[in-house]
A and B are shown apart, each in its own frame.
Chain A
């Protein structure tokens, strides 16, 4: 199987869906002529032309609202946020209009929009550019939220997202864009709402998603080699809909849980997971559910310190040892 980057995988998904469905348009700041702020959309303008690959002004509320309106008439816009952090200036369009229009119209209107872009810390760009809003987004019934960790997942999930008739928010990661992984040349899709056990183990389950999957897999190696601890890593891949069954099956096997997430702790995705695990698998737990999150402060700029604010393999190892102590 060819090895391609996470960035290329997303680009291939876009190109395939643009080819398949003439109603798909890609829109965002610098996506066309500039070839993408993070080069995800590189080459798409040349291939599909300016009607399909559309540069917007710096006007997130305007162009995302425009995408929502266009989607009501059957366009399938794939909107790029240069950073998901900028969702705050389009919050009303994303979470009042896209999330609610189906409901408030009594099911008469669909909003098949995809909003995608990176949502992560770890690049020393400070608090304004490091938000991870998956918990905020997923708090809104009517929307779907996807956070892929690998090239393979990113491609298959984005294709499903574009074909979905509900609004899907797709949260990528600038640090993963260059990571290579095996991606088949033949077409495939991955259904939303299906977790993936990225590593099997017997002593403890790490429930995680996004870049924290990569940290957790590295930590699991160390734990196996240095501590003889066998860790299972469950990658949620999609936050909403949530594949809680795969999580619970793992918990029933290992009886110990650590949630690892690049979220601020208060009312995070992990908070919801911990609630559901204790509610549905209480008798299977041999100890309290543990969690490793981002240190609870706005994202610090200072490069070496930001690494320690976020989950990282070293912190995951420590958290697993604490959970098993």
Chain B
């Protein structure tokens, strides 16, 4: 046995396409008019859903209590990343992400009513009120969470890819993380396993510049995606404000995963407008001017709007109609969440064990729960 690794050399994949031409790359040019509009619509739906959830967070319910507890990490400003990536999913492609997961959940096609209900802690929530904002799941949509421990989901995403390969399915796993997560050991262990075993996973770093209040410059040595080179993986960078660029760049790496079972790491530049979580102060580590600069010049929804208007894909009236529908959808989701019941105290001990949820099929004996 040779001591030297034999995997293909790690390299940075540079796109040959000038930024203005991403809409013309085959993966985008092949989209129907309706599909292009759908990309826009999904971003708007995420934005309006989250704005509505923020209002719910800040408001009170009829009983004077909180609507939404704990953390609420908003994705506002980053929508093109999840929408661009998830729009490329085929039936054997899978997604896993961290706690800033509302965008991914909507992008994979989850219904916004159970998503809002989950925030409200209701039994009608996508996780029956047991997960909350950070822990959305939809295995039927190939969406495996929603994970609260920074970097902890990356080995799981690698395991999804392992399962695909073991089962002989042609697909890819996308494992999303923030720029802060790249400093977690579990991420590096996953990188090594993925490259060593040729697993079909794309590690996606959503670089919004900050991990809570710590800028990239204060947390990370060197370029983030380039660390993949140390694990003999292809890597790339991408502007995450343009949904078409995200698709064009990700298409290459997803194809590498599906066709050649090779992992890669893609760093997608993006920005969040809101605080880390909604209750967090937002003035200690960045300036208002910086936020405004992104909002005014790089907002992914605005960028897409201008592209689609300029290309004559839709009209301003249609865009407005999409926006109005998204607001209505968010309102309906909030009404659904508000009207839904909470889980009962009896529900607390459901969904703990497969066996206790399937008593007729239980094979073990003895006590599973204690008091």
Give the residue name and chain of the A residue nearest to B190 (CB): A62
When the two chains form the complex, which single residue of B159, B167, B352, B365 contacts A69, counting CB atoms closer than 8 Å? B159
Complex formed: what's the CA distance from A260 to B241 in Å? 63
Q: In the complex, what residues of A have CB within 8 A of residue B3's CB?
A: none
Interface size on A, residues (CB 8 A): 56
When the two chains form the complex, which single residue of A65, A103, A104, A194 contacts B146, counting CB atoms closer than 8 Å? A104
B158 touches A101 (CB 8 A): no
When the two chains form the complex, which single residue of A69, A93, A241 contacts B160, counting CB atoms closer than 8 Å? A69
B155 touches A103 (CB 8 A): no
A62 touches B193 (CB 8 A): yes
Give the residue name and chain of the A residue nearest to B188 (CB): A62
Q: In the complex, what residues of B have CB within 8 A of residue A93's CB?
A: 152, 155-156, 186
- The verdict on A243 contacting chain B, using a C-beta distance below 8 Å, is yes
Q: In the complex, what residues of B have CB within 8 A of residue A166's CB?
A: 353-355
When the two chains form the complex, which single residue of A51, A65, A192 contacts B365, counting CB atoms closer than 8 Å? A192
A72 touches B144 (CB 8 A): yes
A69 touches B156 (CB 8 A): yes
When the two chains form the complex, which single residue of A69, A97, A142, A194 contacts B366, counting CB atoms closer than 8 Å? A194
Distance of A15 from chain B, by nearest CB (Å): 19
- The verdict on A25 contacting chain B, using a C-beta distance below 8 Å, is yes
Complex formed: what's the CA distance from A103 to B137 in Å? 11
When the two chains form the complex, which single residue of B158, B186, B354, B366 contacts A92, counting CB atoms closer than 8 Å? B186
Q: In the complex, what residues of A have CB within 8 A of residue B278's CB?
A: none
Complex formed: what's the CA distance from A71 to B96 in Å? 14
Give the residue name and chain of the B residue nearest to A62 (CB): B189
- The verdict on B285 contacting chain A, using a C-beta distance below 8 Å, is no
Complex formed: what's the CA distance from A244 to B131 in Å? 31
Complex formed: what's the CA distance from A245 to B343 in Å? 31
Complex formed: what's the CA distance from A192 to B370 in Å? 17
A105 touches B145 (CB 8 A): yes
B162 touches A241 (CB 8 A): no
- The verdict on A110 contacting chain B, using a C-beta distance below 8 Å, is yes
Given A72-B159, A106-B130, A240-B368, 17 more pairs with CB closer than 8 A? A65-B189, A66-B155, A66-B158, A66-B190, A72-B144, A92-B186, A93-B155, A102-B351, A104-B131, A105-B137, A141-B352, A166-B354, A192-B364, A193-B368, A241-B364, A241-B366, A242-B370
Residues of B within 8 A of A (CB): 94, 96, 125-131, 135, 137-140, 144-149, 152-160, 162-164, 166-167, 185-186, 189-190, 192-193, 196, 349-355, 357, 363-370
